Amino acid sequence: MKRCFGLIGLLIFCFGCATIDVTYDYDPEVDFSRLKTYDWLPVPEKAQLNELTVKHVKLAVNGELGTKGLRMTSDNPDMLVAIHGGKEKRVDVQEWGYAYDDRGFRSWGAWRPRGAFPDPAGPDYFEYRRGTDTYEYEIGTLIIDFVDAAKKSLIWRGTASGVVDPGKTSEQVNESVRRLLENFPPAAKK
């Protein structure tokens, strides 16, 4: 029974955390329709990002921006792209417990005639079970900034965060970047 509760808790936990949370903000005074080219800002060494993850992010961003008609160039770009991010270890602790009264009535109200099942501890048998399950996981956060190259000011920022699955890093990066850049460029004001 303990395994059943543990499995149910794990499934609820996994399905509850399987989504990627995405937020974005932008400068409403910027005319995003004039942006046609971009270049990458170097990733700061103190960011301690995995080199392969940075490569996955850059490939995904280049692909998404390319489908939106933007072109990468180091010759006087309209905007600069910076990425930030990291992982945070988390532990989820779930305590569970249930009681079972073996006196002729089940705890959910179904009547059971006495003697239908052997009574292991006599007529006053009452059993209480409890336990604690722990789940360790990592939350990853990816931040993509677009900076006006001429003014050196932030014009758009998107943030994605979710549970990191170590076996699916590139797929998660691609999905995060796709979801982030769905909202870039922001819709023009009417």
Domains of the chain are: 19-92+138-181 (3.30.160.670)
* Beta carbons within 8 Å of 169's beta carbon, 6+ residues apart: 52, 53, 56
pLDDT band at 2 (very low <50, low <70, confident <90, very high): very low
Does residue 7 surpass a pLDDT of 50? no
pLDDT band at 133 (very low <50, low <70, confident <90, very high): confident
Whose tokens are 């990425």? That residue is: 83
pLDDT band at 85 (very low <50, low <70, confident <90, very high): confident
From residue 62, give the alpha-carbon distance in Å to each of 58, 67, 71.
6, 9, 8
Give the mean pLDDT of the chain. 78
The answer to whether 17 and 137 are in contact (CB under 8 A) is yes
Q: Considering the entire predicted model, what is its pTM?
A: 0.69
End-to-end CA distance of the chain: 59
Q: What is the pLDDT of residue 9?
A: 37
